[in-house]
């Protein structure tokens, strides 16, 4: 999980369809056991994120794993059925 500009995204797949780098997102340090969700702090690691071609950055981001493979992060606000369709689309 990452947080970018106040939006929380879940890692849900992989792609090579990325555009320009747009900033740094904080990675969750852990999930809060009290049920309040992911824990982000000033010391949380950061990851460089890019836009994904065909999707707004408010819904989908990508972070580099290697020279040609990226993790896909989808905003929590995106409905589950749409998330599944995005993962399938970007895996092709």
> 6-54 pLDDT, tens per residue?
999 999 999 998 989 999 998 887 665 566 667 767 777 899 999 999 9
For position 54, what pLDDT does the model report? 93
Domain boundaries, position 15:
2-91
Region of 23 (left: φ > 0; alpha: ψ -120 to 50; beta: rest) is left
Of 50, 51, 8, 55, nearest to 27 by C-alpha is 8
For position 32, what pLDDT does the model report? 57
Domains in the chain: how many in total? 1
Residue 84 predicted with pLDDT over 80? yes
**Better-scored residue on pLDDT, 88 or 28:** 88
Of 89, 64, 82, 60, nearest to 73 by C-alpha is 60
For position 11, what pLDDT does the model report? 92
């Amino acid at each position: 999980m990452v947080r970018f500009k106040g939006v929380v995204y879940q890692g849900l797949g992989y792609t090579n369809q990325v555009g320009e780098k747009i900033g740094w997102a904080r990675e969750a340090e852990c999930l809060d056991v009290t049920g309040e969700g992911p824990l982000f702090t000033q010391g949380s690691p950061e990851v460089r994120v890019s836009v994904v071609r065909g999707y707004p950055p408010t819904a989908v981001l990508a972070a580099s794993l290697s020279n040609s493979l990226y993790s896909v992060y989808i905003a929590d606000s995106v409905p589950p059925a749409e998330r599944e369709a995005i993962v399938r689309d970007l895996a092709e």
